[in-house]
Homo-oligomer: A and B are copies of this chain.
């Protein structure tokens, strides 16, 4: 029987490793469970940023430079929205709009997000199963001194500028795992937590009823999204500081303590090895920055290898 791998992923970083995994595993081997906490409605469209990033990346339709959205993208529709005085802070490209229009249409007909995602994956020959964590509505809310902000508004419109007091995931407590989520976790030989933000992208998945319990039973290996803590730049750095999190691979490991068997950290973080091991978590060192498709494939192979498995391809 083929190896069964279930990956948990948020957006860009997670999608890169999932892409590497998709390239080295047979189609029936890989399931990617994706965060939907960032989903929102914008210009009347139902947008699932993380699901879309994973779908585009695995379908090899994503933009290689920007890291989000589709390659060869144009922004004609958005230009008109802007001319007409509308909101243009969320960079919706024309190709991307086509997906949002069709998804919104199907969701309004009552088709759940998981089925819509499956249909899109089939249309684009995505070589893995991509499951939104839930078909229910979960909303990541950022608590700031200016009041609550929906995640995308905090992250994209405001560039993580307002001070973060905390996050909450509205609807998460009552959200049911999407069909296939439990089965994929139960059947998995390895669960890989991709290098996505543990606090905002992976936590919502772990918060879905029944997910954490199933992980405890499994061989779970994470790849740290934080490399050489002080090098964390951009919006995420401010967020970590606001939350009192020391951004480091150690903080990532500690955050996942209790479910994690092993973590892959960057060689530049080798000094953290002992401290992480003291948490009862095995440490593997590698180059975890994925600049090229070759990096994605190599890291994916290493993760499977570290977990003591063979990809089977």
Query: Which residues of chain A have a CB within 8 Å of any CB of chain B?
Result: 43-45, 74, 76-81, 83-87, 94-95, 97-99, 101-102, 104-105, 108, 119-120, 123-124
Contact = CB atoms under 8 A, between A and B. Distances in A.
Contact of A95 (B80, B119, B124): B80
Contacts of A76: 74, 76, 94-95, 98
A84 B119 contact: yes
Contacts of A81: 98, 101-102
Contacts of A120: 84
**How many copies make up the complex?**
2
A83 B123 CA distance: 7
A86 B74 contact: no
A105 B80 CA distance: 13
Nearest to A124: B83
Given A85-B119, A105-B44, A97 B124 contact: no
A100 to B, nearest CB: 9
Contacts of A79: 95, 98
Contacts of A101: 43-45, 77, 81, 86, 97
Contact of A98 (B80, B98, B123): B80
Contacts of A98: 76-81, 83-84, 86
A69 to B, nearest CB: 12
B94 A74 contact: yes
Across the A-B interface, the 6 shortest Cβ-Cβ residue pairs = A80-B98, A76-B94, A77-B98, A86-B102, A77-B97, A94-B94
Nearest to A99: B80
A32 to B, nearest CB: 19
Contacts of A97: 77, 80, 94, 97, 101
A124 B79 CA distance: 13
| Residue picked from A78, A79, A95, A98, most chain B C-beta under 10 Å | A98
